[in-house]
Every structure is written in C-alpha cells, then in structure tokens.
C-alpha cells in the first residue's frame, strides 16, 4: 500500500505521521513548534520529525510517495509559500524550497483548516460528499470548503477565511482588526469570555462551582451548567449556538453544501449540540424547504484531521 | 460572426436581444413579465420575443447558435429547472423543456445575478479577470461569483446568495425570514428606509426639499443631501457605505477576488462612491497589506449585463 507523510504545524507543536493511502496512521510523533525561531529551524525540525517516524515505522525515505504539510496562515500552495502566518511571525516564507534542501520529494503545503477539511472529506464525516463546509471551533474559527470534490481556497489560497466574516457589525473586537467577526462570537474563546461575563454579573450561578471543580472557566463550563438546568448557563449556550448557526447559515447560502462538519473542542459536546445547530439551519437557510437541505454533522477525526488531510495533499 | 439570444427575465419586464460573440447587441425588445400567469405563458412570451428580435435584426432561427435565459430565484442549470422564484411564484418549473417545445435549440438558464456577473466578466468591468465578485445593489442585493474563470453557483445552483448573509445578528427583518441580512442594510430599499427614518426625525434636513423636488424619497436623496453638506445626509451615506463595505470585505475574505464589481442603480453615484468602499476594503480585508488586494470597480454594462451574461451561457 502506498505511504505518505502528513505534517500538522500548530501554534504549540508540530505533529507528523506516516499515512497509508486508506488513511491509516502507522507512526505519529510530535515536537514543539518553537515560534521564536526562524523558518529554517522549523523546516529542519519537520525533516527530523519525518526521519523519526520513518525509523519508528521501520520505513525508508524511498517508501514514501510524498510529504504534505498543513500550516496556519495564508498559504500559496502553487508557489509553496507561506504568504503570512501571524502566530509564527512568517512572511513570504518559501517552505517547500527550504524543505527540498533536506529531502527532494513531492511536497505540498496548505492552510491547516483547509487540510482538516480535506481530511474529514477523504477519511472522516465528509466521506462520500462532494460539497462540504468544514468549521473548527477553537481559539479561533477556522473554515475549509470542498466544492464539487475539490478544495476551495480563494485566489492564491488567500480566501476561505470565513471566521473573519462579520456577523455583528460594530460588535466585539477581533484579532484581525475588524469588529464583530464570526470568530469573535463562535470560537471557544468567545464562549469563555461570555461565560466569565455572566459569572461576574451573577454570583449565584452554578457556573462558579463548576469552574472551581475544573480549576478554571472553560468552554465546557456553560454547557455543564446548562445540563444542570442553570438559567444563566442555558442562556449562554442558547446564544452561543445561535452565533455558530448564524455563520453556518451564511455559508450555506453561499456554498449550499451537502454537509456542514463541526470540529474543534466544542464539538465534543456531542449530538444534542449538533442537533441544536441543525434546527436553526433548517429554519433559516435561504429557500427553506424548496432549496436542498444541508446536514450538520460532527467531525470524526478530531485532532488527526489535519495530519490526514495534509497527507492527502500528495495523494493523487 | 456567431450569434446568440440573451433573455433577462425581471420582476417587471422580460428583455431579450440578439448578441454577437463579441458582445454586440443587434436588436433588443421587451415585454411585460405577467407574474400572475403560469410558466407556460411566460415561456410562450419569451419565444415570441425571440421571434420579434429575429425579425427586427433580419435574421432566421437558423442563424442563432443558442438561447440563454437569466431568471430570478434558484436555478438548477444542469436540469434546466427553476427550483423556486418567489417573485414569479414558480416552484420546480421545467423552463428548458417547455421552451424546447417551441424551439429545439441549445438553451441554458441561470440565476439573473449570476448572468450579470458573467456579463461583466466577459464583456464589462470584469473583463480579463479570473476571480470576480459581482454585487448588484437594487431592491435587494444580488451577488455572483467568478472563481478561476468559471461561474460559482453553489451546489445545484442554490448558493451564491450572499445578500442573505447576516451582517447584524438580530437586526432588520429580511424578506428571507432572517434578521440582519446584508440585503436589509445594503440594498437601495434599505437606503430609502434609512433616509425616510432620518427625515421623520429631522424636520430641518435639506432631504425634505430634495425629495420634494424629485417627487419622492429615493436612493439618491441622501447622496444629494450629502453633496450639499447636509449632516444627516452625510451620516446616512457614510453608514450605508459602511454596510456595503462590510459585506464586501466578508466576501473578499472568503473568495479573495481580483475585482469587486458594484452594479445596480446606486452605483451610478460614481467613482467617489466606489472610492469610499475601496478605502474601507483596504483597511479591513483579512491580512491587510500581506494578502493580495481586491480592486473595487463600478459595473460598466448596467442594465445590459443580464442579457449579455445570459447569451454567454450558450457561447463555448
């Protein structure tokens, strides 16, 4: 069976695995990202990670058909360049060219959320669908789009940034410089911000106790309180789902996908959370019963979507 | 030179013209839409319109390579079906099949805003660009997208409805059933609504005089007042431009086009209006100077974009 390497560069760590053509991971390693170092160091780290997983899987470089790398920021895949990545402080970084100094192999790079979308489309919840919207709810809101079976990235890979679609003009500040972006309302960070606000206002809410038990206010605090029938917790969850669904419906009206795949830590809340989004979608998508319906599903590959999608960049 | 027929079905009238392969219109006729009649009547009307323009241009049916029809609503082009069109009260109408009863020719149908986008891309302001966002500001907000040289419609032609992207959650009511859609803020109708509101609040504004001179409050009232330095007029125009630009930036962050083409009656305000949108775009698009810039331009074909784009559906 053909073998590839998928690499997922995150803000904290770089993960890599040998991936077979049917989406099995044979070996998986990670190392710290070292965001304070130049891209030449990161490239060398990625190469060393590749060597480690090859050794671990008892494989040679010759056994590998290609290396795919997912990376945060704007990636110009055709040129093999990271146009810019704020977290990594990278600007016009020729990653592919640099990597080829170590290993002259078929290598492709792509944005990390786009890779996760590809991964879910090829091996996860989006399998068998030609039109998918993928959304990951984490520190930010990442989006990836599969249109007619192909990854849609916008020109020069600089689109598909629907986290930075304003859903409340003049609203909360976003890291991108605008106000009211979807990310500023639908990310886990936004949920935590709203939970904290509500806790400050309401000394009586059960959320104080829940946060204490967990050692901190997290994206789960309001969900847990809601399950225990706390009115404040319920209010926050209801509003948070509305914010998520608002952006989801916007994207359905533009892309009209078969499935909307929800990933990221918050998606662990499970099916009832997905169902809440689905109900909102059914009610508000453009054309209602007359237009094709989009099914909301939970991502299934979780943290491996990025690696598997990165590997799929180099599978034909 | 090869010749085609382009048909533009509007809420009020149906327009049709013979169009040459280089975008010249040889003859142009129109007739009322008769929205109270079934689709069979409309199809016959379109056919008769075709015969009229052929006679006028001294041509025979055999001289025509194909007929393209632009129509409001959700159009499933591959199936030749109008999935639904609210204005026309059409649901799953097999327009192509019906038309072929009269004239068995190469015929294609597509959404009207998508046709206008195609028209501007092939013969107008978007000529030579492979990635365009087209926006028409009228009674509603219509959008069309050219992605890598091809029309992007979403699955089954049921996407590309960015007028129904919420930019202010819980905001103004929209005809689609949601609240806060871009259309409810950036359409000419929204501008008129805001102008009227401001006039009711401010008996002193010069807008009363301007509206009286024109016989009504229109999309031009606030713009004229603004030019005459009326503070209320300036405030409305500034805010209206901000609403338009908010949606434009959202779409740039998703599609990252080379050009954003602004059409519809409001675009007649001219270059200073376009420049206001451009400044907002330059300031707020994702990635600022690091991502490719999008140029905002005025549509150049005006009311003919739909006919020319419809004709281009049947040009290879």
Q: Is residue B314 part of a domain?
A: no
For B135-185, how does the pLDDT look when each residue is reduced to its tens digit (9 = 90+)? Answer: 999 999 999 999 999 999 999 999 999 999 999 999 999 999 999 999 999
Q: How many CA atoms lie within 13 A of A172 on its CB side?
A: 19
Average pLDDT over residues B279-303: 93
Does A280 share its domain with A135?
Answer: yes
pLDDT at A153 over 90: yes
Gap from A258 CA to chain B (nearest CA, Å): 8
pLDDT for the residue numbered B289: 81
Beta-carbon contacts of B5 under 8 Å, excluding residues fewer than 6 positions away, are: B16, B17, B18, B19, B50, B53, B64, B66, B67, B68, B311
pLDDT at B266 over 90: yes
Q: What does the angle CA A286 – CA A160 – CA A269 come to, to the nearest 5 degrees?
A: 70
Q: CA-to-CA distance for A293 and A260, rounded, in angstroms?
A: 11
Q: How many CB pairs under 8 A join A and B?
A: 134
Q: Note whether B215 contacts A: Cβ–Cβ < 8 A.
A: no
Which residue in the set A164, A177, A250 is minimally distant from B166, CB to CB? A250
Does A136 share its domain with A283?
Answer: yes
For residue A258, give the chain B residue with the closest CA.
Answer: B155
C-beta of residue A27 within 8 angstroms of C-beta of residue A56: yes
Length of chain A: 316
Residues in chain A closer than 8 A to B289 (CB atoms): none
For A21-42, how does the pLDDT look when each residue is reduced to its tens digit (9 = 90+)? Answer: 999 999 999 999 998 999 999 9
Residues in chain B closer than 8 A to A287 (CB atoms): 74, 83-84, 158
Q: CA-to-CA distance for A272 and A71, rounded, in angstroms?
A: 32
The number of domains in chain A is 2
Does A142 share its domain with A279?
Answer: yes
pLDDT at A199 over 90: yes
Which residue in the set B176, B185, B292 is minimally distant from A155, CB to CB? B292
User: Which candidate, B253, B283, B8, places its Cα nearest to that of A254?
Assistant: B253
C-beta of residue A66 within 8 angstroms of C-beta of residue A314: yes
Residues in chain A closer than 8 A to B165 (CB atoms): 165, 250, 253-254
Average pLDDT of chain A is 96
C-beta of residue B150 within 8 angstroms of C-beta of residue B110: no
Q: Is residue B144 part of a domain?
A: yes
Domain that includes residue B99, residue range: 3-112
Gap from A283 CA to chain B (nearest CA, Å): 9
Does A116 share its domain with A133?
Answer: no
pLDDT for the residue numbered A30: 96
Residues in chain A closer than 8 A to B253 (CB atoms): 159, 161-162, 164-165
> pLDDT band for position B302 (50/70/90)?
confident
pLDDT for the residue numbered B124: 98
> pLDDT band for position A275 (50/70/90)?
very high
Does A55 share its domain with A111?
Answer: yes
Length of chain B: 316
Q: CA-to-CA distance for B281 and B250, rounded, in angstroms?
A: 10
Tell me the two tokens of residue A156. Answer: 């020069």
Does A165 share its domain with A295?
Answer: yes
CATH number at residue B103: 3.30.420.40
Q: Which residue has the higher pLDDT, B87 or A134?
A: A134
Q: Note whether B149 contacts A: Cβ–Cβ < 8 A.
A: no
Does B151 share its domain with B50?
Answer: no
């Amino acid at each position: 069976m053909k073998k590839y390497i998928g690499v997922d560069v995150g803000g904290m760590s770089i993960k890599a695995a040998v991936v077979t053509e049917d989406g099995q991971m044979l070996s998986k390693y990670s190392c710290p990202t070292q965001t304070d170092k130049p891209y030449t160091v990161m490239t060398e780290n990625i190469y060393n990670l590749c060597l480690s997983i090859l050794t671990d899987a008892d494989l040679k470089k010759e056994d590998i058909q290609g290396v795919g790398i997912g990376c945060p920021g704007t990636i110009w895949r055709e040129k093999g360049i990271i146009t810019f990545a704020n977290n990594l402080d990278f600007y016009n970084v020729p990653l592919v060219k640099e990597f080829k100094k170590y290993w002259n192999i078929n290598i492709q790079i792509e944005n990390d959320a786009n890779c996760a979308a590809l991964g879910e489309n090829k091996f996860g919840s989006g399998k068998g669908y030609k039109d998918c919207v993928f959304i990951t709810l984490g520190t930010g809101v990442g989006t990836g789009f599969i249109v007619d079976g192909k990854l849609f990235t916008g020109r020069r890979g600089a689109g598909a940034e629907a986290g930075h679609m304003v859903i409340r003009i003049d609203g909360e500040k976003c890291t991108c410089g605008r106000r009211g972006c979807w990310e500023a309302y639908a990310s886990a960070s936004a949920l935590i911000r709203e939970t904290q606000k509500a806790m400050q206002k309401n000394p009586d809410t059960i959320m104080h106790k829940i946060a204490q038990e967990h050692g901190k206010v997290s994206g789960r605090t309001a969900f847990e309180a809601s399950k225990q029938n706390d009115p404040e917790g319920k209010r926050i969850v209801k509003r948070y789902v509305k914010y998520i669904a608002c952006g989801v419906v916007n994207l359905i009206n533009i892309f009209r996908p078969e499935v909307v795949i929800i990933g990221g830590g918050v998606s662990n809340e499970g099916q009832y959370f997905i169902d809440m989004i689905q109900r909102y979608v059914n009610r508000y998508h453009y054309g209602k019963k007359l237009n094709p319906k989009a099914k909301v599903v939970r991502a299934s590959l979780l943290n491996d979507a990025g690696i598997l999608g990165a590997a799929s960049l180099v599978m034909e």
